[in-house]
């Protein structure tokens, strides 16, 4: 954010005050959450105004904006953790089932009067193709009804990216290569998806999730 463009209307004393403040609190201002907060122009404007014109009202507006932003960040992180947990459980269950049935699947199919080299696993692969649809894994594992409902509000592409990222544990670079888009595009889709989940989730029944 261009500080000079936002403070051209203030006098030199206010600008000096701002520069002194940011210099003295550089460590706190380098915090990741604070950086994300200040990356939004409206928040940065509140910040510069509160520093240059430190009235009680200006500080109150800045404080309220930050509290709201921080609560939303925590909620999005909560949603992400829930998705990771369900995805992890899904991968563990899938691995356990594969390990359990592997000896059976590798057995040749017995065909009367023929010696078959085709296994049950070959037959399953021929019929199923892909192991699951992109969205099925995540939607099938999420037990929280409100979150499940929120997931159904996403687009097919958003679900595909979420499933690839959380269930199949793919990197953003790998997902981008598979979909033929940029990594920046995948990062944006993930962020937008989590934002949409937050909005849809909060429209439903209010729940206390920050215990």
Q: Which DSSP string do the residues of the chain spell out, in sequence order?
A: --HHHHSTTS-HHHHHHHHHHHHHTHHHHTSHHHHHHHTSHHHHHHHHHHHHS--HHHHHHHHHHHHHHHHHHHHHHHHHHHHHHHHHHHHHHHHHHHHHHHHHHTSBP-BTTB----BHHHHHHHHH-SSS-TTHHHHHH---HHHHHHHTTS-HHHHHHHIIIIIS---HHHHHHHHTS-HHHHHHHHHHHHHHHHHHHHHSS------
Render each residue's pLDDT in the chain as its tens digit; 211 residues. 454 554 555 567 888 888 899 889 888 888 888 888 898 888 999 999 999 888 999 999 999 999 888 877 777 777 777 777 777 776 676 666 656 555 555 555 454 454 545 554 454 444 444 444 444 567 777 777 888 888 888 999 999 998 888 888 889 999 999 999 999 999 999 989 988 888 887 776 444 343 3
> Shortest CA distance to 199 belongs to which of 160, 159, 150, 166?
150
Determine the pLDDT at residue 36.
82
pTM for the whole structure: 0.51
Determine the pLDDT at residue 125.
47
Determine the pLDDT at residue 91.
66
Helix 12-24 and helix 41-52, axial crossing angle in degrees, nearest 10: 110
Residue with tokens 């892909």: 130
Q: How far apart are CA 142 and CA 3, in angstroms?
A: 45
Residue with tokens 């937008």: 192
Determine the pLDDT at residue 206.
47
Determine the pLDDT at residue 131.
45
Determine the pLDDT at residue 155.
92
> Shortest CA distance to 33 belongs to which of 4, 67, 64, 82?
67
Domains along the sequence of the chain with CATH = 3-54 (no CATH), 72-203 (1.10.10.10)
Determine the pLDDT at residue 117.
53
Q: Is 189 exposed, middle or buried (0-12, 13-18, 19+ CB in 10 A)?
A: buried
Strand partners, 2: none
Determine the pLDDT at residue 130.
46
Report whether 124 contacts 116 (CB < 8 A): no
């Amino acid at each position: 954010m261009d500080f000079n463009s936002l403070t051209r209307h203030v006098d030199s004393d206010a600008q000096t005050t701002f520069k002194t403040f940011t210099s003295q609190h550089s460590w706190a201002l380098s915090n990741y959450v604070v950086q994300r907060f200040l990356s939004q122009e409206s928040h940065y404007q509140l910040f510069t105004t509160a520093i240059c014109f430190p009235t009680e009202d200006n500080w109150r507006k800045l404080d309220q904006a930050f509290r709201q932003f921080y609560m939303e960040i925590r909620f999005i992180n909560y949603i992400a953790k829930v998705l990771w947990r369900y995805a992890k459980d899904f991968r563990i269950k899938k691995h356990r089932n594969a390990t359990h049935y592997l000896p059976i699947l590798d057995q040749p199919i017995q065909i009367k009067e023929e010696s078959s080299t085709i296994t049950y696993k070959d037959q399953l692969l021929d019929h199923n193709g892909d192991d699951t649809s992109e969205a099925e894994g995540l939607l099938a594992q999420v037990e929280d009804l409100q979150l499940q409902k929120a997931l159904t509000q996403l687009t097919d592409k958003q679900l595909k990216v979420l499933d690839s990222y959380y269930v199949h544990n793919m990197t953003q670079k790998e997902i981008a290569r598979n979909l033929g888009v940029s990594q920046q595009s995948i990062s944006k889709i993930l962020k937008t998806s989590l934002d949409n989940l937050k909005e849809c989730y909060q429209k439903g029944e209010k729940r206390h999730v920050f215990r």
